[in-house]
Amino acid sequence: MNIVITGASGGIGARTAERFLALGHDVFGIDLAPASVSHPRYRHFTADIRDPASLPEIPDVAVLFNNAGAQNSADDIGNNLTGTVNVTEKYIENAPSLRSVLFNASASAVSGQEFPLYAAAKAGVVGYMKNVAIRLAPRGVTCNALSLGGVLTPLNDPVVRDPASWEKIMSVTPMKKWMTADEVADWVLFLTLENRSMSGQNLLIDNGEHDLNATFVWPSYFSSEKPYFSEEK
């Protein structure tokens, strides 16, 4: 199958490309940066997704992974939202083999945290994903979004490699870890190749950061006495 991945030179994009290649697929990577993947079935296009004219012609697209993005850049709306719309509108038309579209949004689309225009753009990606899902449903094509919390990629080195920042992050991360790019690739492969019936969904995968920071206060709740399980009537 022909797989298109934007942001294919970055941490998540490159690892995902390698995983599709290992399964025998042909991968077409698009990125502002030169290729970081090298494989006989990998073709790289240096392009800016904000400029529709720079996007290459790619035949018979089966899977589109909209992954390119930038945080706190000079143009967060363009790099994360407008560019993603450009790519999607180009590759979902005249694509009879299309089976799935997946967007890499962000936990900030759900929580509103992080940089203002990044959060706005990623929330826009989720809204746009639903619009695309509605349009593609009659063709039997699934369309979903990942909203990831922290991922261990070079993008995050400033906080991952700074012990004080990392300690603060772990104090608000109930599962006490971040995910790897390989684990993200597991989700991407399942959602684009296996899933046939879930569409229009935004999956928040964040080690419990948004939903599991318990705020319930009750004197005996965390004691071993557990009076709320008492068998006395």
| Segment near ligand NAD (CB under 6 A); pick from 17-25, 129-137, 150-158, 210-218 | 150-158
Place of tokens 């492969």: 189
Taking CB under 6 A as the criterion, which residues in 104-133 touch ligand NAD?
104, 106
Binding residue for ligand NAD, selected from 2, 4, 11, 91, defined by CB under 6 A: 11
Q: If binding means CB under 6 A, how many residues of this protein chain bind ligand NAD? A: 28
- Residues in a beta bridge with 46: 31
- If binding is defined by CB under 6 A, does position 101 make contact with ligand NAD? no
Binding residue for ligand NAD, selected from 3, 25, 29, 79, defined by CB under 6 A: 79
- Smallest separation, CB 22 to ligand NAD (Å): 18
Binding residue for ligand NAD, selected from 12, 101, 102, 189, defined by CB under 6 A: 12
Nearer Cβ to ligand NAD (97/108)? 108
* Residues in Cβ contact with 170 at an 8 Å cutoff, skipping those fewer than 6 apart: 176, 177
Distance between CA atoms of residues 59 and 26, nearest Å: 11
Nearer Cβ to ligand NAD (109/133)? 109
- If binding is defined by CB under 6 A, does position 188 make contact with ligand NAD? no
- Token pair in block for residue 189: 């492969």
Taking CB under 6 A as the criterion, which residues in 196-215 touch ligand NAD?
none
Nearer Cβ to ligand NAD (116/140)? 116
- Smallest separation, CB 83 to ligand NAD (Å): 5
Binding residue for ligand NAD, selected from 19, 25, 50, 99, defined by CB under 6 A: 50
- If binding is defined by CB under 6 A, does position 69 make contact with ligand NAD? yes
Binding residue for ligand NAD, selected from 25, 95, 123, 150, defined by CB under 6 A: 150
- Token pair in block for residue 124: 């826009």
Contact footprint for ligand NAD (CB under 6 A)? 7, 9-13, 31-33, 48-50, 67-71, 79, 83, 104, 106, 148, 150-151, 153-156
